[in-house]
Each structure stands twice: as structure tokens, then as C-alpha cells.
Amino acid sequence: MQFSCRVGTADGRVLREVHEARNEELLRNELQRRGLHVFSIERRTPLRLPWPGRGRARRRIPLPQLLVFNQELAALLKAGLPLLQALELMLERLKDPQFRDVLTQVRDRIKTGVELSDAFAAFGDVFPPLYASTLKAGERTGELEQVIRRFVRYLQLVISARKRVVSALVYPLVLVGLSIALVFVMAVVVIPRFTIFYESLDIELPLLTRVTVAVSLFLRSNLWWLLVLLAAGGWLLRGWGRTERGRLALDRLRLRLPFLGPVLHRFAISEFCRSLATLLGGGMPLVPSLEIAVGAVGNAWVRRLVRPTVQQVREGRALHQALETSSAFSDLAIDMVKVGEATGALDEMLGNVADFTDEEVETRMQRILSLIEPLMLVFMGIIVSLLLVSVYMPLFSVLGKLQ
């Protein structure tokens, strides 16, 4: 989000600047940390064109590309190269035009005295919110290279978890797609050709055949209108899903899906725990880490459930007690967090919770696949069988009369 800020400097000047930040509170704290007096902060509402994807908004940097960048940056810093020189070397080999443009601006900002974390944070959603905060923790503790390596490990685990989920869903999606394509071809191409043959038969068609033929002819005669309506509906749903209310409703609906909902819920909890563990391991205090970890959760409904814990911890409540009130965490996860707080190894215990949750996600996905695959085969077999029976039933009637 962009904010228009009216600030005063130490030498008495009053400036109006535009900054990007996740929320007003974080921006105010950052400006005050720089020694500026904040007079006012107003959120800017840029004009948005109605068509999705129109405009020159930057896309997010893919996580695998960000992973490679940070691996190289950590290696160069470990070799003793200054930060600016390391960025210059990486710019020479970077091929992606958007990432190259962003990194060039980051380098230029650093030359003017801006910290690395602030330079990346200025690009908003182009980078994960966790990234700039992790860099800031490394700058404050003087262990930037170690913190970057910890973030690299975080990215490796997140990418690995997402790949497992996606690879588990590929076969069912391909099976569903091929089945729908088969039924569509039979309904739109094959069955209408039988209607000419049926007209030459002096018999009354069975009910199943009449229904199948009527549906087939409707689909064939209104195919383009149906495709237009389907595309318009998808476009509207996509636009509504980008609004806060729409995103919240759709994410809540996803969590209520049979079989898949619990998997998505556990994946969101894993994101939260791993993000929080990474920030705490980098030396960031608990409350700022909580704010960022909540924002890193992909599911809006889970994010809404977890967000009140930030204020509770800020007021002095223990983390495990705050998590109990959110109804988003299992008893085992809360007990593990409680042990981590008692032993002073909260970041390590949160990492264990994330690992355990990832294992649960993988196990549940395997169980779901073992059930979905045979069920889909049986279901689509029934549909195809009904279509074939409806097509050949009149022929059976004719053969019966001839005998």
C-alpha cells in the first residue's frame, strides 16, 4: 500500500513524501526510527482500471528465482565482498528484465544511504513481506549473511512443500480434465449425429435418450453463449476474489471443502509457524515477528483468525495462550509452542511444528489421492456408461421388434 506522508526533518524542513508499507503503523514506526517527526499519514488510492491485468503493475518475483538470488548473495557476502559490489556482480548476470530493473533501483537506493531492507521493502508486494523484515533483523544483529542463509532455508522448505502439494494434485486434475473433455465431445459431437438416425426410426425414444438428446442439442446450439457466460463468470469471480471481502469468503470456502479443506488449513498454519520461526531465529522481537508472520499466511480466513494474537501478545499474554483463543491451532501445536516458550527455544519449536504439519499435509494428500482416483474412475465410468446406454437403447428397441 502507498501512503502520502508529511514529515519534519531534524534541520527544520517539512517534506511530503510517498512511501510503501504494509500498514500505517509499521510506516509510522519506521519513519520515527529514522528520526523524522510524523505530522500526518494518508493512504493513497491510485486509480485502477477495471480490466484485470491491465496497467504496469509489477508481478511478484517467483520464489525459485528469489531463492537463487539469495543463495548467490549469501555466498558473495561470505567471501568478503562489500554489499554494493556483490549487487553489481549479480546485476551483470541477471537476465530477468523485471528483477534486473528492481535490483538496479535497490542498488541505487543503497548508494544514497538507504538500508538494504528498506530498499527491498519499498517495492511492496513484489517480494514476500517476510523478506525485508528478515533483512532488517540481520542488519540490526550484524549477521546479514547468516540471516540470508536462514531465509534461503525457509524458501527451500516452502518451495518443497508447495511442490509436493502441486504434484499430488496433478494426476487428479488431469483425470478430471480428460473425463470432462470426453463427455463434452460425446455430448456435442457424437450424440447430435445420432439424432438424424433416430428421426428415421418410427419408434418412441426412451426417456433417458430424450433427455440426453435434448441436453446435447442445447449445448451444441448455445455453445458460444455458454463459453462467453463461463468466461464472464470467471472474470467476475476473479475480480471479486481480489477484494478483501471476496478473498475472505473464497478462502473460507476453500477451508470447508471436503478432504481438501483440512489440508489447506494445515498448510496455512505451516506457513505461519515457519515464517515466525525464521524471524525469531534472525533476532527480531516477538511482536513485530508476529505481525509479519500473520501477513505471510496465504489464506485470508486463517490470517483473520490468527491476527488477534498480535494484540494479545503485545498486552503481555503468553504466545501459547494467545494461540489458544484463535481456534486455528491444534492442541499439539499449542503444547509444543508452550514448551518452546518455557525452554527458550521458541524458534526451534516453531520449526518443529511446521515440519510436523508439513508431514501431516503430505500424509493427508496421499490418503486423499488413494480415495479420489478410484472414485473419479468409477464416477466417470458411470457417466460414460449412461451416455452410451442412452445412445444405443433405441437400437435395442428396434432389434427387439425385428425379432
Is 336 a residue whose pLDDT tops 60? yes
Last residue of a domain, one of 77, 96, 127: 127
Is 129 a residue whose pLDDT tops 50? yes
pLDDT of res. 44: 59
Is the residue at 151 inside a domain?
yes
pLDDT of res. 49: 35
More confident residue, 197 or 117: 117
Is the residue at 134 inside a domain?
no
CB 398 within 8 A of CB 194: no
pLDDT of res. 55: 40
Dihedral angle computed from the Cα positions of residues 329, 331, 336 and 341, in that order, rounded to the nearest 10 degrees:
80
Same structural domain for residues 197 and 303?
yes
Mean pLDDT for the stretch of residues 389-393? 80
More confident residue, 125 or 403: 125
Same structural domain for residues 38 and 162?
no
Identify the helix (H) or strand (E) that includes residue 352: helix 346-402
Is the residue at 327 inside a domain?
yes
% of the chain at pLDDT higher than 90: 1
Is the residue at 57 inside a domain?
no
Last residue of a domain, one of 127, 161, 182: 127
pLDDT of res. 54: 39
pLDDT tens for each residue of 203-240: 777 788 888 888 888 888 888 888 899 899 989 888 88
Same structural domain for residues 234 and 356?
yes
Same structural domain for residues 118 and 160?
no
Is 378 a residue whose pLDDT tops 80? yes
Same structural domain for residues 348 and 390?
yes
Is 288 a residue whose pLDDT tops 60? yes
Mean pLDDT for the stretch of residues 40-61? 54
Same structural domain for residues 401 and 360?
yes
Range of the domain at 38: 2-43
Mean pLDDT for the stretch of residues 369-383? 79
pLDDT of res. 47: 37
Which of these ranges, 319-333, 357-371, 388-402, has the smallest mean pLDDT?
A: 388-402
Look at residue 144 and give its three-state secondary structure. helix
Cα separation of 260 and 361, whole Å? 10
State how many domains the chain has.
3
What's the grid cell of residue 341?
A: 516458550
Is the residue at 240 inside a domain?
yes
pLDDT tens for each residue of 154-178: 788 778 877 877 777 777 778 778 8
Same structural domain for residues 199 and 338?
yes
Q: Find the CATH number of the domain harbouring 83.
A: 1.20.81.30
pLDDT tens for each residue of 57-108: 467 888 888 888 888 888 888 888 888 888 888 888 888 888 888 888 888 8
Same structural domain for residues 169 and 223?
yes
Same structural domain for residues 254 and 336?
yes
Is the residue at 116 inside a domain?
yes
Local confidence band at 48 (pLDDT 50, 70, 90 cut-offs): very low
Same structural domain for residues 120 and 150?
no
**Rounded to two decimals, what is the model's pTM?**
0.64
Same structural domain for residues 97 and 148?
no
Last residue of a domain, one of 127, 155, 181: 127
Same structural domain for residues 174 and 259?
yes
